[in-house]
Structure 1
Amino acid sequence: MYGEPIQDVAPDQIERLSFTLIEREFQTETGIDPASIEPSRFRIIQRVIHATGDFSFARSLVFHERAIEAGIESIRQGRPIVIDVTMGAAGISRSLLSAFGGSVICRINDAEIIDEARRHGRTRSDTALRRAAADDPGIIAVGNAPTALLAVMEMIASGEMTPKLVIGVPVGFVNASESKEILMRQRYPFIANHGRKGGSPVAVATINALLRLAHEQERL
């Protein structure tokens, strides 16, 4: 019927098998020995590949040396996670986050944000992220709008916002790559990637991987 052999896999085993296949194929697809990557970083890279089906993130993802430590610390402190679009907010695991008392904030569809963006000639994502300073976010994640990532960096530089971690992975052709390159020159903790690829699936996969790592630390 399909022309290709279909694997008979129980629904609750699909994710586990997917991660096994990613690990098995990783070196062939990337030329990188997974054992050469720090284990926590590999967990994030693996989940991003799972979310995108794209092994190129193994080479394009860039981690500040304190990024994972800072992200886990923020999660364990219960500080809010602010993300730029509702699709991303919907994908973050509330069941994992709830154990730490954290919350996910996305204001892009708030009426006042829409009105303010229109009045100032800004994108809604940019406007919503500028408002996020009042929420004292621990992690800020941008998967879509380079303007939002630029706004976040401006606010950190001016002292208006002090997140522990910035995840900057906007996708697109206009200022996406450029905004990420600026982020990668900053001294504060970040996770970003080179090039035009990115998007909400990458941002969400990164956050969910950090949530799982935080839970594992709790059990130690």
Structure 2
Amino acid sequence: MYKGDPLDIERRSMEIIDEHVKDTSFNEKELLVVKRMIHTTGDFNYKDIAAFKGNAIEMGIELFKRGCSIFTDTRMAYSGINKKALEKAGCTINCLIDDERVLKKSKELNTTRSSAAIDIASEDGIDIYVIGNAPTALFRIGELMEEGKIKPALVIGVPVGFVGAAESKEYLRGLNVPSISTVGNKGGSNVAASVVNAILYMAVER
């Protein structure tokens, strides 16, 4: 029977997801993130491709509890993150993809706007980079880290696609930074937002 209460729908959805993720190696907090990924996509495969490195969830909870700065590579990821929860956490969030400075820099460097946006964002000192769409953005984060120009506390990198997506996430997992990613070509801005929300809900009430 169809149910109209969104919270009841979500509760029932999570019950169904629970039935499919009983036998995994994830700890309790990691499983909450994976379940949110599955809930967002309707794809149980995320229980096999989600990857966590360097106490990423604990780092995220700590950052949200003390207030932090967040950068997203797309407006979709930006829109999908719970703003009321962010406000409770005292966090700021920004997406610079439409910024005139980004357009200008991308033309100057002959690169994507997503990559150029990382350069602009890095000037402000970002705590959490959230990448759901652009492999070039994830590669640029790594390049700036290796050059010693940025030191993010957490990177959520789940770009989707067939050109550079899997490779950029493998590159991320090789960097010395707490991270949450997916193995292979799956991901997306909606997945990136779901990861942020899952950790936010552990840190503050919805």
1:140-194: CA deviation from partner (whole Å, max 9, x where unpaired): 0111110000000111111211111011111111111011111112222111111
CA contact (8 A) 1:79 1:136 kept: no
The answer to whether the 8 Å contact 2:132/2:192 transfers is: yes
Q: 1:21 aligns with which of 7, 16, 39?
A: 16
SS at match of 1:186: coil
Instruction: Tell me which of 134, 139, 148 is aligned to 2:123.
Output: 134
Q: Which amino acid aligns with 1:200?
A: S
Q: By how many angstroms is 1:135 displaced?
A: 2.2
Letter in 2 for 1:117: S
- In 2, Cα distance between the equivalents of 1:199 and 1:208? 14
Match among 189, 193, 196 for residue 200 of structure 1: 189
AA partner of residue 118 (structure 1):
K
- Equivalent residues of 2:73, 2:133 under 8 A apart: yes
Query: 1:211 matched to which residue of 2?
Result: 200
**In the aligned structure 2, how far is the partner of 1:64 from the partner of 1:52?**
22
Offset of residue 9 of structure 1: 4.4
2:189 matched to 1:189? no
Q: Which amino acid aligns with 1:24?
A: E
**Comparing both chains, which one has the higher relative contact order based on Cα–Cα distances under 8 Å and sequence gaps of 6 or more?**
2
Larger radius of gyration, structure 1 or 2? 1
**SS in structure 1 of the partner of residue 21 of structure 2:** helix
Contact 1:75 1:138 in 2 (8 A): no
Question: What TM-score results when the alignment is normalised by the length of structure 2?
Answer: 0.94
Gap runs ≥5 in structure 2: none
- Find the partner of 1:108 among 80, 90, 97: 97
Structure 2 equivalent of residue 120 of structure 1: 109
What is the CA distance between 1:201 and its match in structure 2?
1.0
| Mapped pair 1:43 → 2:32 | yes
- Matched residues in 2 for 1:103 and 1:67: separation? 19
Q: How many residues align structurally? A: 205
SS for the counterpart of 1:99 is: helix
Matches of 2:71 and 2:174, distance apart in 1: 22
Instruction: Specify the alignment match of 2:152 in structure 1.
Output: 163
Superposition TM-score, scaled by structure 1 size: 0.88
Shift of 1:115: 2.0
> Equivalent residue for 2:46?
57
Deviation, structure 1 residue 22: 0.7
Q: 2:7 is matched with which residue?
A: 12
Segment of structure 1 superposing worse, 143-152 or 7-16: 7-16
Q: Which runs of 5+ in 1 are unaligned?
A: 1-5, 28-32
Shift of 1:8: 3.4
